[in-house]
């Protein structure tokens, strides 16, 4: 098997290179790459079947990215919630810690597309040490989420060093890694990597699959290596217009993930990130999809549909409305639309 670094080195970085594989007009696409980088590695390229494909839309630049006049660069106010560079401290008990600036693919809908894969994202040994020091000094932090960029693109040694320093912090109970690698470069999940990761339990990985076409044998093998090392796997899917914004596609994705021992965790309503407006759906789209899925498929396959509120206000669950009234009886509709009641007992709290 070709080494993952070699695969990454052979990535396509411009639409012009892509014309060797697909018949399309790349002229209008080149300018987009000047603002937002493109990277499609040969593995992900092999999953793309056509220029109309849901995987194509995730990976290939679109002139609409530059025409976005609605969205803003940093909708989650990550920069103002940052006590030290590359730490985002929004919730009392957990922090986001950006430890890598690169990804194995640059997703066109990325929330951090203002910086991921560009020189504005500066991560150094010094910024990492300062981040670790902040976590060590802030005793309310129970959990750290490693993100970026993709933490699993760091070398084994670098990752080992970060994880071991974090693991040594007494009040830090859990390490969570956010990584798209199991989906976009599954050969990065090597036995050597897994041997490192499993030293730092309780360690969770939330990966990121958006479409059933991404559930390849290689991806299943990567998830299996991780799960066999006792790492609980979750998935953070983004709801994307024209890619996965229907119940049939998401049902297939979520059930497929469960078979790969990955628990669907969040389904994200699109963020207001500049250059991604064309991917955003109306909030009713996701809520209707959830209504079709809840009850009709295993609860294990159901993620929380969540909106990350603009301005760094936190994640808000978007749930279909089941409750009709809550007087003396609680009246609600079930998943089939039947009216049901539940007699209350006691005063409201
Ligand atoms: C999403 C997010 C988290 C994690 O939230 P969970 O609901 O625990 O998954 C933590 N910090 C920041 C800044 C986030 O955006
Ligand atoms: S892998 Fe994640 S961080 Fe990287 S480009 Fe895709 S969405 Fe953004």
User: Which mutation among 80, 112, 145 tests ligand 1's pocket best, with the greatest number of atoms within 8 A of CB?
Assistant: 145
Domain spans of the chain?
4-318, 320-349
Q: Given this model, what pLDDT does residue 2 score?
A: 79
Q: What is the pLDDT of residues 15-49, one digit of tens each?
A: 999 999 999 999 999 999 989 999 999 999 999 99
Q: Is the CB of 150 under 6 A from ligand 2?
A: yes
Reduced DSSP (H G I as helix, E B as strand, rest coil) percent helix, strand, coil of the chain, to 5 = 35, 20, 45
- Residue list, ligand 1 pocket, CB within 6 Å: 88, 90-91, 94, 96, 145, 315
| pTM score of the predicted model | 0.97
Secondary element (H or E) of residue 134? helix 125-137
Q: Residue 17: phi, psi to the nearest 5? A: -65, -30
Closest by CA to 222, choosing from 266, 260, 265, 264, is 260
Max CA pair span of the chain: 70
Class of domain 4-318: alpha beta
Encoding tokens for residue 100?
Answer: 């890598």
Q: Euclidean distance between the first and final Cα of the chain, in Å?
A: 60
Mean of the per-residue pLDDT values of the chain? 96
Answer whether 118's CB lies under 8 Å from 73's CB. no
Identify which of 44, 106, 153, 275 to mutate to test ligand 2's pocket (most ligand atoms within 8 A of the CB): 106
Question: What is the residue with the minimal CA distance to atom 12 of ligand 1?
Answer: 96
Whether the pLDDT of residue 1 is over 80: the answer is no
Instruction: Give the model confidence (pLDDT) of 307-338 as tens digits.
Output: 999 999 999 999 999 999 988 899 999 999 99
pLDDT reading at 302 higher than 70: yes
Is residue 99 lining ligand 2, measured as CB closer than 6 Å?
A: no
pLDDT in tens, 250-290: 999 999 999 999 999 999 999 999 999 999 999 999 999 99
- 325 burial type by CB count under 10 A (0-12 exposed, 13-18 middle, 19+ buried): exposed
Percentage of residues in the chain having pLDDT higher than 90: 95
- Cα distance between residue 154 and residue 249, in whole Å: 32
DSSP β-bridge partners for residue 146 = 97, 177
């Amino acid at each position: 098997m070709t080494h993952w670094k070699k695969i990454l080195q052979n990535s396509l970085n411009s639409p012009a290179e892509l014309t060797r594989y697909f018949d399309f007009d790349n002229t209008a696409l080149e300018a987009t790459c000047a603002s937002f980088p493109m990277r499609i590695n040969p593995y992900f390229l092999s999953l793309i079947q056509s220029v109309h494909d849901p995987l194509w839309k995730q990976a290939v630049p679109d002139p609409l990215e530059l025409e976005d006049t609605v969205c803003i660069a940093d909708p989650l106010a990550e920069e103002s919630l940052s006590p030290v560079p590359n730490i985002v401290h929004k919730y009392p008990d957990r922090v986001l810690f950006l430890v890598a600036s690169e990804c194995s693919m640059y997703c066109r809908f990325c929330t951090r597309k203002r910086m991921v894969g560009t020189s504005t994202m500066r991560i150094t040994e010094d910024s990492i040490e300062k981040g670790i020091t902040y976590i060590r000094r802030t005793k309310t932090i129970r959990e750290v989420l490693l993100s970026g960029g993709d933490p699993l693109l760091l070398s084994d040694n670098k990752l080992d060093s970060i994880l071991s320093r974090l693991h040594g912090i007494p009040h830090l109970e859990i390490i969570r890694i956010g990584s798209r690698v199991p989906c976009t470069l599954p050969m990065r999940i090597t036995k050597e990597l897994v041997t490192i990761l499993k030293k730092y339990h309780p360690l969770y990985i939330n990966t990121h699959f958006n479409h059933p076409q991404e559930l390849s044998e290689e991806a299943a093998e990567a998830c299996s290596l991780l799960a066999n090392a006792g790492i609980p796997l979750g998935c953070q899917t983004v709801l994307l217009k024209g890619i996965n914004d229907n119940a049939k596609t998401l049902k297939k994705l979520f059930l497929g993930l469960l078979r790969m021992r990955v628990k669907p965790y969040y389904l994200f309503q699109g963020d207001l990130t500049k250059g991604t407006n064309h991917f955003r759906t109306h909030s009713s789209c996701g809520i209707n999809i959830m209504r079709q899925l809840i009850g009709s498929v295993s609860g294990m396959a159901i993620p929380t549909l969540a909106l990350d509120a603009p301005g760094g206000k936190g994640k808000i669950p978007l749930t279909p409305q089941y409750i009709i009234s809550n007087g003396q009886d609680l009246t609600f509709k079930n998943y089939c639309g039947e009216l049901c009641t539940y007699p209350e007992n006691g005063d409201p709290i």
